[in-house]
């Protein structure tokens, strides 16, 4: 019985890794679309988003089967319950990447400084997502804690972009709509960082039994 349970846990781990990889992929495609304004990349974002949604349903079903059909001990129960929490944040990362993709075609004339900061913010967000998934795979509490602290970097980029956009609106009010769209993109990247932080905090819980909110 335990052998079967361990096999199913291994499948869960594999599915989580694949869903995490899809989250990394979709954000990378968004960054590429921002850089190249390539409509093919925008189409690929929608496809990746659909696959993330499918993975969420698959993992949710697997977790529920493990809970209902097996008798997980405390550590296993933490891993399964953490996975259920994490996939919600992963799915939202996919949604927000798609939201960014919808805005990109409307921000063709981006202020240079804000655009540079946005790219750095996007890369920092991608790293947070990558590290949070790696922390889950490796059961690495220290890496998970680093993800939590790295959220300050993403937040700082958001503040800098906001200040730059305010200056841009004051100096070029005719481009105000584009600037607001750019600010929305930055806000979505900030939320992606928040979701990566949530994932990392559940990694800590799955290993230690301690959650920040607890």
CA gap 173, 166 in Å, rounded: 10
> In the numeric block, which tokens belong to residue 195?
């979701």
Architecture of domain 2-208: Up-down Bundle (1.20)
Q: Which residue has the tokens 């804690």?
A: 145
**Mean pLDDT of all residues in 159-176:** 86
Give the end-to-end CA distance of the chain in Å, rounded to a whole number.
32
> In the numeric block, which tokens belong to residue 42?
């925008």
- Does residue 9 register a pLDDT over 90? no
What would you report as the CA-atom Rg of the chain, rounded to the nearest whole angstrom? 19
> In the numeric block, which tokens belong to residue 101?
């993709």
Per domain, the residue ranges of the chain are 2-208
CA gap 124, 191 in Å, rounded: 12
Please give the model's pTM, rounded to 2 decimal places.
0.91
**Mean pLDDT of all residues in 79-96:** 94
Q: Would you place residue 39 in the very low, low, confident or very high pLDDT band (cuts 50, 70, 90)?
A: low
Share the mean pLDDT of the chain: 88
Region of 60 (left: φ > 0; alpha: ψ -120 to 50; beta: rest) is alpha
CA gap 45, 61 in Å, rounded: 25
**Mean pLDDT of all residues in 72-78:** 83
What is the tens place of the pLDDT at every residue in 181-212? 889 999 999 999 999 999 999 999 999 988 87
> In the numeric block, which tokens belong to residue 106?
């409307």
Q: What's residue 74's pLDDT?
A: 81
CA gap 108, 181 in Å, rounded: 10
Most confident residue range from 15-29, 59-73, 119-133, 139-153: 139-153
Instruction: Name which residue leads in pLDDT, 31 or 195.
Output: 195
Q: Which residue has the tokens 């405390």?
A: 74
If you write DSSP's letter for every residue of 33-60 in order, what string do you get?
A: HHHH--HHHHHHHHHHHHHHHHHHHHHH
């Amino acid at each position: 019985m335990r052998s079967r349970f361990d096999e199913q846990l291994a499948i869960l781990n594999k599915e989580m890794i694949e869903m995490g990889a899809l989250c990394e992929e979709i954000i990378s495609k968004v960054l590429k679309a921002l850089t190249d304004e390539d409509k093919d990349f925008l189409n690929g974002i929608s496809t990746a988003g659909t696959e993330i949604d499918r993975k969420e349903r698959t993992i949710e079903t697997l977790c529920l089967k493990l809970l209902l059909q097996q008798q997980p001990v405390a550590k296993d129960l933490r891993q399964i319950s953490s996975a259920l929490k994490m996939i919600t944040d992963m799915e939202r990362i996919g949604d927000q990447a798609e939201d960014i993709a919808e805005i990109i075609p409307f921000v063709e004339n981006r202020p240079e400084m804000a655009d540079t900061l946005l790219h750095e913010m996007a890369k920092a967000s991608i790293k947070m997502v990558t590290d949070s998934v790696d922390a889950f795979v490796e059961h690495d509490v220290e890496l998970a804690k680093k993800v939590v602290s790295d959220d300050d970097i993403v937040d700082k980029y958001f503040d800098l972009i906001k200040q730059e956009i305010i200056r841009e609106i004051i100096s070029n009010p005719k481009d105000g709509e584009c600037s607001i769209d750019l600010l929305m993109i930055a806000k979505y990247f900030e939320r992606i960082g928040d979701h990566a932080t949530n994932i990392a905090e559940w990694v800590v819980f799955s290993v230690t039994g301690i959650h920040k909110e607890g």
